[in-house]
Amino acid sequence: MAIAAFAPTTAGAPQGETKRGGRTALFLLIPCIAYLALFFLAPLISLVLTSFQAPRLYGDIGQYDYAFRWENYADVIGEYWPQILRSFGCALAATVIALIISYPLAYFIGVTMRRYSLAQSLLLVLVVAPFFISFLLRTLAWKQILSNESPIVHALQAVSLLGPGEYFIGSPAAVIFGLVYNFVPFMTLPLYASLERLDSRLLEAGSDLYANAFTTFRTVTLPLSIPGIVSGTLLTFIPAAGDYINASRDFLGSPDTSMLGNAVEANFLVLQNFPAAAALSIILMGAILILVAVYVRRSGTDELV
């Protein structure tokens, strides 16, 4: 009898606390929801609506009316498909090269230097140090270093890596180089965070079982670092695909290396073709979302999305 009398009270208390906790959490989320609605959802809706606009009859350049003109998407794909392919091709190449560079670096910092905390901290500072300098300034500095009259270009010509009259600036290789340089820290830090948590006893167990270094890496280190690889490649590929600075003729690129970001910039700021620029932006976002979803699903790290 006593147990039955107290049962509703003890069972009902957690439910009430859960409801109050849910209301409190919802209340605390209001600023975040308002921020996302104001600074993400509203601009995104405006961008989508702009992508369907049609030129105003008898209007000046840059004057458009809201309409559902689906032809805008077909027009920009037909006109800018080389830039679309070049954007994803350069971003993929830069991501692969950045991974090849960053994985040994992250392993050295996170695993090899684990016993030397001071040296490890110093190396991490060196990795993040470029963030303290403007993205534009860093890219502009490389433009000066790799200019046509620089000793580096003359050395490349001397060893026949560049032919007579060929220059590095304005080539696809220069654009990929700039992307790799600017986004290597975005690849290194997630890899370091993943490898730094690697239990050294697992590596020792591999040695105790007479596995060579390559087998230990293939069966232990690499599988456990997959989340870091996925995070790093996403943080590198996504901004690289939309980059417009490195491929710009004002920095490391030329008209022959223009990417999707350069087309968006030109249509927005120069041509004032706002529907085309908005349509290109939507295409870029949609393609990246599809690629990321497929990549994450195939890599088995769905929890990252």
Residue 278 lies in a domain: no
Structure tokens at 106: 């992250």
Give the SS3 label for residue 65: strand
Residue 129, number of CB atoms within 10 A of its CB? 10
Residue 185 lies in a domain: yes
Residue 246 lies in a domain: yes
Q: Are 238 and 182 in contact (CB under 8 A)?
A: no
Residue 79, number of CB atoms within 10 A of its CB? 12
The residue to which tokens 């599988």 are assigned:
223
DSSP 38: I
Q: 128: which residues sit within 8 A by CB, 6+ positions away?
A: 185, 189
Alpha-carbon distance of 250 to 239, in angstroms, equals 19
Q: What is the structure's pLDDT at 1?
A: 44
Most distant CA pair in the chain, distance:
99
CATH code at position 192: 1.10.3720.10
Residue 241 lies in a domain: yes
Structure tokens at 114: 């684990």
Residue 234 lies in a domain: yes
Any bridge partners for residue 65, and if so which?
54
- Rounded to the nearest 10 degrees, the angle between the axes of helix 172-196 and helix 226-241 is 150
Q: What is the structure's pLDDT at 18?
A: 64
Q: What is the structure's pLDDT at 305?
A: 54
Residue 42 lies in a domain: no
For residue 241, give the nearest of 259, 222, 265, 253 by alpha carbon.
259
For residue 232, give the nearest of 194, 270, 266, 191 by alpha carbon.
191
Residue 219 lies in a domain: yes
Residue ranges making up the domain that contains 191: 79-268
Residue 126 lies in a domain: yes
29's torsion region: left (phi>0), alpha (psi -120 to 50) or beta?
A: alpha
How far from 115 is each of 118, 120, 126, CA to CA, in Å? 9, 8, 18
Q: What is the structure's pLDDT at 65?
A: 83
Q: What is the structure's pLDDT at 304?
A: 55
Sign of CA dihedral 72, 74, 77, 80: negative
DSSP-assigned letters across all residues of 71-83: HHHHHHHHHHHHH
60's torsion region: left (phi>0), alpha (psi -120 to 50) or beta?
A: beta
pLDDT in tens, the chain (305 residues): 444 444 444 445 456 566 666 678 788 888 899 999 999 999 999 999 999 998 887 767 767 888 888 899 999 999 999 999 999 999 999 999 999 999 999 999 998 898 888 999 999 999 999 889 999 999 999 999 988 888 888 888 888 878 777 788 999 999 999 999 999 999 999 999 999 988 878 777 877 677 787 888 888 888 889 999 999 999 999 999 999 999 999 999 998 999 999 999 999 999 899 999 999 999 999 999 999 999 988 887 666 55
How many domains does the chain fold into? 1
